Amino acid sequence: MRVLLVEDDRRIASDVVRALEAAGYVVETVRDGEEAWFRGDTEDYGAVILDLGLPGMDGLAVLKRWRANGRQMPVLILTARASWAERVDGIDAGADDYLPKPFRIEELLARLRSIVRRSAGHASSVVSSGEITLDERQMRVSVRGVPIAMSPLEYRLVAYLLRHRGRVVSQHELDENVYGHGEDHDSNALEVLIGRVRKKLGPDLIETRRGFGYLVPETPA
């Protein structure tokens, strides 16, 4: 999943990027409010982590403009200002959750998982399709309860499709959410990756819809 991190403090940003990438997210970082507003308004992200004190445009103003334009992605606010009045302002502006600095990276990851799940309408960090189960807390994919070893790319692919099960996901959307910026890959890399995943998880998990994309069907639990 693609996450936009808006944070002007380089040290915090690099710690958060490292943790997010280790947890399987594709991360893009911006450092000022104007650029953040533009990216969030024109690109699709699975979630945004937004600092409030930013050069250019205040984080709260950025968030208000996104919501006014109908941008619905889940947003986790990150800030040094931890007074209750500012928390209320953030929630009123359309934030999904709020994390005061300093924070533990584990708490940031837990809150991020939780706002993403809520926005997708899932109550649990474990999702299944047929015999395949994804556990996002343990970053584990299993078939009939048996864990399967996966590369980070394979995991990101399976996690994205399972999170969006029941809907056709275009090649372009998958590409953006599996490969990070500057992560080199040619045009048929995705097909090769899907082939590898089918070998590990069985041929039936991912359906190909020629000309449209890929689908993991929603199956009754």
| Least gap, CB of 51 to Ca ion (angstroms) | 5
Structure tokens at 111: 């809150």
Q: Of 30 and 194, which has the nearer Cβ to Ca ion?
A: 30
Give CA–CA dist 51/33, Å, rounded.
9
Task: With contacts defined by CB under 5 A, name the span among 27-35, 43-51, 122-130, 178-186 that binds Ca ion.
Answer: 43-51
30 binds Ca ion (CB under 5 A): no
Structure tokens at 154: 């394979």
Q: Of 9 and 218, which has the nearer Cβ to Ca ion?
A: 9
Task: With contacts defined by CB under 5 A, name the span among 30-38, 45-53, 116-124, 125-133 that binds Ca ion.
Answer: 45-53
Closest CA to 202 of 139, 146, 137: 146
Q: Of 51 and 154, which has the nearer Cβ to Ca ion?
A: 51
Give CA–CA dist 130/8, Å, rounded.
43
As separate numbers, helices (DSSP H) first and strands (DSSP E) second, the chain gives 8, 11
Task: With contacts defined by CB under 5 A, name the span among 6-14, 134-142, 162-170, 172-180 that binds Ca ion.
Answer: 6-14
| Least gap, CB of 23 to Ca ion (angstroms) | 22
Q: Give start and end residues of each alpha helix (H) in the chain.
A: 10-22, 33-42, 59-68, 84-92, 105-120, 152-163, 171-178, 189-201
Residue 50's beta-bridge partner residues?
Answer: 6, 77
Q: 49-88 mask for Ca ion (x: CB under 5 A)?
A: --x-x-----------------------------------
Structure tokens at 176: 């953006």
Task: With contacts defined by CB under 5 A, name the span among 2-10, 23-31, 81-89, 193-201 that binds Ca ion.
Answer: 2-10
Q: Of 51 and 176, which has the nearer Cβ to Ca ion?
A: 51
Three-class SS state of 68: helix
| Least gap, CB of 11 to Ca ion (angstroms) | 11
89 binds Ca ion (CB under 5 A): no
In contact, 28 and 66? CB cutoff 8 Å: no
Q: Of 58 and 135, which has the nearer Cβ to Ca ion?
A: 58
Work out the number of other CB atoms within 10 angstroms of the CB of residue 117. 17
Pairing of strands 207-209, 213-215: antiparallel
- C-beta nearest to Ca ion: residue: 53
8 binds Ca ion (CB under 5 A): yes
Residues contributing to the site for Ca ion (CB under 5 A) = 8, 51, 53
